[in-house]
Amino acid sequence: MNWNSEKPDERLPRYQQVHDDLLRRLVSGEWAPDQAIATEAELCVAYGVSIGTLRKSIDVLVAEGVLTRSQGKGTFVRRPRFDSSLFRFFRFKSKSGELVRPSAQILSRAIEQPEAIVRGALKLGPDDQAIHFSRIRLIDGQPVLMEEIWVPLALFKPLASLPIDEFGDLMYPLYEQRCQQVVARATETLTVEQATPAVAATLEVAPESPVILVHRVASDFGGRPIEWRSTRGAAASFQYQVEIR
């Protein structure tokens, strides 16, 4: 095989070896989200495998949500859509009554050693540093969500000095454009808590009123956690919707 990485584990089935190397190349950014990977013919030659073996490797990556096939066009790196995921939980309306998505404003940015829960979620060592962002989401100038976001400094160093006014409302496109880090999947945990005085003041709700807390751990294509995020919003705006088939 013409491998483009360290020697594969030859104890594994051939399709698994190809799968693992393709995944490594995806994690390294050889192919960007929405970009077509090499053709099946090219990959068969590169790896020295049959078309059946190659397709089995790709089938697994498709099932894992990493790649997607387009009939007659090729196989593409899947771009997950996270920009609307929070709004499965929260529904907001403008003063005129229309459904809207809030804008974002970063309140603070600091390089810190994260607390234990964040360090564990991001699999950081005791001396590793992270960039900590605090931000709010607003509608008509009123805060509706507050967020704490942590990313490893080693992976996101460009964000430590990027001017705040260049961040925009969505973080994930920025991760990709500035740091070549792609969020491929995320796990979310939802709980209910009482608003602390600080949370109540930020969200402009009564102290100890119910607040929805969404914890998210986002990972890259290789499963490495690259972002820890907590989002809080008033329970009055909470709505959970799921389609069951």
One-letter amino acid of 61: L
Distance CA 52, CA 243 (A): 35
pLDDT band at 33 (very low <50, low <70, confident <90, very high): confident
Residue 85 has pLDDT above 70, yes or no: no
Domain ranges of the chain: 14-77, 85-237
Across residues 73-84, what is the average pLDDT? 78
Q: What is the pLDDT of residues 38-70, one digit of tens each?
A: 999 999 999 999 999 999 999 999 988 889 998
Q: Which fold has domain 85-237?
A: Chorismate lyase (3.40.1410)
- Other Cβ atoms less than 10 A from the Cβ of 147: the count is 21
Q: Do domains 14-77 and 85-237 have the same CATH topology?
A: no
Query: What is the average pLDDT across 124-150?
Result: 94
Q: Would you say 177 and 166 are in contact if contact means Cβ atoms under 8 Å apart?
A: no
CA–CA separation, 87 and 81 (whole Å): 12
Averaged pLDDT score across all residues of the chain: 87
Query: Which residues, listed in sequence order, are joined to residue 142 by a DSSP beta bridge?
Result: 139
pLDDT value of position 72: 83
Top mean pLDDT of 102-111, 177-186, 234-243 is at 102-111
In CATH, what is the architecture of 14-77?
Orthogonal Bundle (1.10)
Q: What is the dihedral of CA 157, 160, 164, 165, to 10 degrees?
A: -30
